[in-house]
Amino acid sequence: MKNLTISKTSIRTFENLYSLNDLHFASGNDPKHRPNQFIRLDQTQELIKEIEYENSDAQICASHKSLRTGINKGTWACEELALAYATWISPKFHLVVLRAFIAMHKGEVKQQQLALPEPEKKHTFEFTEYELQQLAWLWFAFKRGVGTFQHVHKAFETLGSNISGQIYGQAYEYLSVLRSSNQILNRITKEFEADPMSNWRVLKHLRNFDPKAVKIDF
């Protein structure tokens, strides 16, 4: 839970409950506004019943606790009861406490937003048609390399070659790169035709590639 501060008084928390004694002190410490008197009120008891009824199906802590001994001695209440207590003291104090809770929750949301990963940066580049063709052919050469390694791996393994492990890595560990680069190149070359009479004939291989394939032809 985030720390709550009212009129420069830090409001302690215990088991997701707020200290009504600290709120009492922040309000001016008037004896007639002691937390135990608020808890005894019929209206407060009705509110407690409603809160606990709503939470009866969930594993949520009690709406309030009154401890007579120990370091956590005092009256502790959930946020709804704490706000009701502030209302009982005075409209002005209720407004102060309400605004403090709102500010606290905004801070929690902001922290959650800060914790979210930043959107991936996008970059804009200009390529000539020839450069795009070279990228497509580079992918095709990569694909053939993966397919070749897959084809010869079993033979090297059968021979007991000490490089069979490296060949296996080349054959299967880069499949995800082969698939993702295929998607990228398909996207940036979609305006071109697969012309069999030009360097764009490579697009036939690019567009016929099965991204779900594990065995790659060469």
Q: What is the secondary structure of 107-166 as a DSSP string?
A: HHHHHHHHHSPPPPP-------HHHHHHHHHHHHHHHHHHHHHHHHHHHHHHTT-TTHHH
Element (H, E) at 51: helix 42-54
Residue 85 CA to residue 60 CA, distance in Å, equals 21
Residues 152 and 109 in one domain: no
Given this model, what pLDDT does residue 118 score?
67
Of 83, 115, 147, the domain-final residue: 115
Residues 10 and 95 in one domain: yes
In eight-state DSSP terms, residue 41 is S
Of 92 and 218, more confident = 92
| Residue range 155-183: mean pLDDT, rounded | 90
Residues 89 and 57 in one domain: yes
Residues 174 and 144 in one domain: yes
Beta bridge partners of 4: 11
Confidence band (pLDDT; 50, 70, 90) for 195?
A: very high
Using an 8 Å Cβ cutoff, are 164 and 156 in contact? Answer: yes
Given this model, what pLDDT does residue 59 score?
47
Dmax (CA) for the chain in angstroms is 95
Residues 12 and 94 in one domain: yes
Count: domains in the chain: 2
Residues 38 and 80 in one domain: yes
**pLDDT per residue over 86-144, tens digit each?**
999 999 999 999 999 998 888 766 665 555 666 778 889 999 999 999 999 999 999 99
Residue 212 CA to residue 215 CA, distance in Å, equals 9
| Strands (E) located in the chain | 4-6, 9-11, 13-14, 17-19, 64-67, 74-77
Residues 18 and 110 in one domain: yes
Mean pLDDT, the chain, as a whole number?
Answer: 89
Residue 157 CA to residue 57 CA, distance in Å, equals 60
| Residue range 148-158: mean pLDDT, rounded | 91
Domain assignment present for residue 214? The answer is no
